[in-house]
Every structure is written in C-alpha cells, then in structure tokens.
Amino acid sequence: MAGAVLISGASRGLGLATARELAARGREVFAGVRKPGSLPASTGAREVLLDVTSNTSVGQAVHSAVKAAGGLDALVNNAGLHAFGALETASEERFRELLEVNLLGAWRLARAVLPHMRSRGSGHILMVSSLSAKVGLPGDGQYAASKFALEGMSESLALEVRRFGIQVTLLHPGPYNTDMLKLRGSFSKRTAPSAGGEPYAALHRALLERPPKGEPPQEAARAIADLIDSPPAALRCPVGPLAKHIFKRLDIDPGERGERVALDATGLRWWVQGEERE
Ligand SMILES: NC(=O)c1ccc[n+]([C@@H]2O[C@H](COP(=O)([O-])OP(=O)(O)OC[C@H]3O[C@@H](n4cnc5c(N)ncnc54)[C@H](OP(=O)(O)O)[C@@H]3O)[C@@H](O)[C@H]2O)c1
C-alpha cells in the first residue's frame, strides 16, 4: 500500500473528496472529522476524530494515525472556515474563530506531525490555501487575512524544514462547489456580518445574490492527489482552471523568486540547504 496520509476537515467538501480519491489510489488515509460517524462508510478511509482548535485532539489524531500506519507520508491541512462581510461589520468572535481554524489549526497539526516526519527524514505537508491569499476582495477580508497569514507561515515553514527532508506545498484552489461556496445556504448568525452593516448592505446583498459557481470537488481532489503522488518542485500550486488563469494574470511567484531574494538578503541559505554555519 502507498504511504499514509492524514487529512483534516474530511467530513465533507474538498476534504472528503480528497480522502476518497487518495483511498481509491491505494493510500492509507486517516480522515479527520469533528463528529464521530461523519465519514461516509464508502470513503475507503479510516475516520479519526480531529478538531484542529484543540491541542489534545490534534495530538491524539496524529498519535493514532502514526501508530496505525507506522508513520505519515503526508499531511493535508484542509480544515477551513469562511466568513463574509465588510471588515467594519465583522464580529470579533467569528474573526478569531477563523484564525483559530485556518491559521493556528494548520500550525498545530503541522507542529504535531513534524517530529515524526523529521525522525524518518521525509514527509510532505500540504496547506490548502486559496486565491484569497493573494488578492483581498471587498467582503472577504477576514478570510483573506487568515489565508494571507497561512501563506507567510507556510513560506517560513518550508524553509525551516527542508533540511530535514520535509516538503511544504501551498495549494490554491479556484472555486469548488462545496458548502463553503454557498454563502446564502450557510448565512446564519455565526457567519453574518454583525450590527452596523447598513452602509455595506448593497455589497452584502450583491455577495449573497451571486450564484455559487464552482467546479466539482472531485476535480480538485484529483489534482491534490496528483500533487501527493508526485510532489511538485514549486511551493505554490494553483488548483483548477481559474486558479491557473489567475496565477498567470497576476504573475504570482510559485516560490522560487521570493526564496532566492529572501535567502540572499538574510544569508540563511546554509540552513535551508542542510549545511553547518560557517
Ligand atoms: N470550496 C472552495 O471553493 C475553496 C476554494 C479555495 C480554498 N478552499 C479551502 O479548502 C478547504 C476546504 O474547504 P471546503 O470548500 O471543502 O469547505 P466545507 O465544505 O465548508 O468543509 C470544511 C471542512 O472543515 C471542517 N472544519 C471546520 N472547523 C474545523 C475544526 N475546528 N477542526 C477540524 N475540522 C474543521 C469541517 O468540518 P464539520 O463538517 O465538522 O464542520 C469540514 O469538514 C478550506 O481550507 C478552504 O478555505 C475552498
């Protein structure tokens, strides 16, 4: 059997589709869900309880996967939340929740798998980012903030752990047809802009009225599974046709340019290359 993969947020959406795809390709998949029994039986993956906001839950999930599989080849940090609404109207509670899951949750899980990957001298950590990590849009500021932060953290992480044989990849999916895209369906007290939204009412209405238009999640899952089977050279990978188009139009650096400039400026190339300090 090909190597083991742990994936967070696998109860539905891109996480579930990716768990299914990887299991069909013969991978031993540990599918993280928050509620027991949320993983459909047909997925072909093993359900593990995983709430990325809890250190205890993260520790137990990683321990059980490593124990069962003898190690982890890849981690897909997929769990994510969205909130929409102008920043002036954002609820602090919801904004914090977003950062807890999208940023700190990814860090907690990466931190927990790193000792195992370091001891084997190999591993692949994939961060499910977004095009919102590259462009801030009106009404998307909380989500963009969490994904921009994920980008910075992942860039640093990639350079910290390469010397241990561990690779980090940032995935940038375009729109996929999951619950996250259905703003109207998920519009509730928790996701809604809080009081004081009147000046932004037309913007919020326009966002809510926009029909959700995305590709089938299975297509993203195939692309993600391909990147796990054949790890890419680049740090950043667009997923899907729109993301590829936007990467081209914005001339987004897949990673090499930023890395070259940063390492030349700081003199830290020796660390990344696994050398001793002169
Ligand atoms: N769909 C898109 O168009 C799109 C585009 C770009 C990037 N993305 C990114 O892709 C990832 C998956 O999104 P999706 O579209 O599949 O969203 P989704 O259908 O809303 O699924 C989100 C998943 O995250 C899980 N989750 C939420 N809070 C969690 C926590 N505290 N601990 C563990 N799991 C948690 C959810 O579990 P429950 O079922 O328990 O709530 C669910 O499994 C996210 O990181 C998102 O930002 C999505």
Q: What is the pLDDT of residues 40-70, one digit of tens each?
A: 999 999 999 999 999 999 999 999 999 999 9
- Terminal Cα-to-Cα distance of the chain (whole angstroms): 43
Residue 269: count of CB within 10 angstroms of its CB? 14
pLDDT band at 194 (very low <50, low <70, confident <90, very high): low
pTM of the model: 0.96
Cβ(191) – ligand 1 distance below 6 Å: no
Structure tokens at 39: 């993983």
Q: Tell me the average pLDDT across 237-247.
A: 97
- Whether 129 is catalytic is yes
User: What pLDDT, on the 0 to 100 scale, is given for residue 210?
Assistant: 85
Helix (H, G, I), strand (E, B) or coil at 123: strand
Q: Specify the DSSP class assigned to residue 105.
A: I
| Pairing verdict, β 74-77 and 123-128 | parallel
User: What's the token pair of residue 133?
Assistant: 């990590």
**Atom of ligand 1 minimally distant from the CA of 239:** 6
Give the position of tokens 């939204």. Answer: 197
The yes-or-no verdict on residue 5 having pLDDT over 60 is: yes
54 lines ligand 1 (CB under 6 A): no
To 5 degrees, how large is the angle CA 210–CA 216–CA 218?
150
CA-CA-CA-CA torsion for 151, 152, 153, 156, nearest 10 degrees? 120
Residue bearing the CA closest to ligand 1, atom 37: 9
Give CA–CA dist 57/234, Å, rounded. Answer: 31
Task: Note whether 30 and 48 are within 8 A (CB).
Answer: yes
Residue 103 CB less than 6 A away from ligand 1: no
Domain ranges of the chain: 2-272
Our answer to whether residue 64 is catalytic in this structure is no
Q: Which amino acid is at 75?
A: L
Given a contact cutoff of 8 angstroms between Cβ atoms, the answer to whether 212 and 218 are in contact is no
User: Tens digit of pLDDT for each residue in 152-190?
Assistant: 999 999 999 999 999 999 999 999 999 998 865 555 544
Phi, psi values for residue 195, rounded to 5°: -55, 155
Q: What are the angstrom distances between the C-alpha of 193 and each of 82, 92, 99, 275?
A: 12, 10, 16, 50
Ligand 1 and 77: CB distance under 6 A? no
Query: What are 169's strand-pairing partners?
Result: 126
pLDDT of residue 278: 78
136 Cα: distance to centroid of ligand 1 (angstroms): 19
Confidence (pLDDT) at 189: 47
Q: Where are the beta strands (DSSP E) in the chain?
A: 2-7, 27-33, 46-49, 74-77, 123-128, 166-173, 236-239
Query: Measured between alpha carbons, how far is 247 from 267 in angstroms, rounded to an integer?
Result: 29
CA-closest candidate to residue 215, choices 244, 179, 178, 252: 178
Q: Which fold has domain 2-272?
A: Rossmann fold (3.40.50)
Environment class of 118 (CB within 10 Å of its CB; exposed 0-12, middle 13-18, buried 19+): middle
